[in-house]
Every structure is written in structure tokens, then in C-alpha cells.
Amino acid sequence: MALIILAFCVFAALVWLGRRGPKQPNEWRSAAGIVGLACIVAGIAVMVRGLVLAGAVTIAVGLALGLVARRVPLPFGPMTDDEARRVLGVDVDAGEAEIQAAYRARMRTAHPDQGGDEAVAARLNTARDRLLKKR
């Protein structure tokens, strides 16, 4: 029974994290690390109750989450000027108007309200902000 409750709690935490989405670049890593630590603690508690195999599996899942949290590359991070220009498709000498026009053209299809992807839209926002702050 305790294992079922533990599995439900871990599943609920992962669903909550998935719906919430990352707000900061390292948030997924820290969340996976926290869930991994919770699994390790829960595994120890289950082992103390006498369910050695279930506890060992739970601890193994916690360790795996901890390792994944450390090794998974971030899908986004600091963007260079060259990368921002590539994302928007503008030249080095592009002015503010050209940057805005390229941003709008790409955002028409990338915006989540138009059936696009949130990650692509966020990347476009980051690229535009990066290039316009240089002006």
C-alpha cells in the first residue's frame, strides 16, 4: 500500500512539473533532483517497513533521477549574438526595424496560439531581446 501511495505521489509531482513548465533554465534540473531525493528518502522509509525490494527499486529510481538531473543538457541558456541572428535570420548589420520584422514573421507561425511551440516562441523572444538590447 505504501508503495502505491509513493508511486502516486511521484507521478503527481511529475505531472505538476510538466504542466507548470520551466520558468528558469535550471528549474527542471532542480525539480528532478528534488523528486530524486524524495524517492531516495521514501525508499529508505519503505525498506525500514520491511519491503526491501520495493525500497531498493524506489532508491534506484531516485538515484537515476538525480543522475539525469545532473547530465541532461539544458534546452536553452545564454544566447550569443551570432545565435540570435541565426534564429531570426538577420544579418550582422540588421537594424531595429529589420530585427522586429524578422521576429514578427517567424512568430506568426511559432506562437502557441497559432499552433506553434512554446519553446520556439521563447527562443524567438530571447533572440529578439538579445539583439535589441545591443542597440
Residues of the chain with CATH 1.10.287.110: 81-133
- Digit-coded pLDDT (tens) for 94-130: 889 999 999 999 999 888 888 877 878 888 888 898 8
pLDDT in tens, 57-85: 877 877 777 766 665 545 555 778 888 89
* CB < 8 Å & 24+ apart, contacts of 66-71: 66/32, 66/33, 66/36, 66/37, 66/40, 68/32, 68/36, 69/28, 69/29, 69/30, 69/31, 69/32, 69/33, 69/36, 70/29, 70/33
Which are the contacts of 111, defined by CB distance < 8 A and separation ≥ 6?
A: 121
Distance CA 117, CA 114 (A): 9
| Verdict on whether the full-model pTM lies above 0.75 | no
CATH class of 81-133: mainly alpha
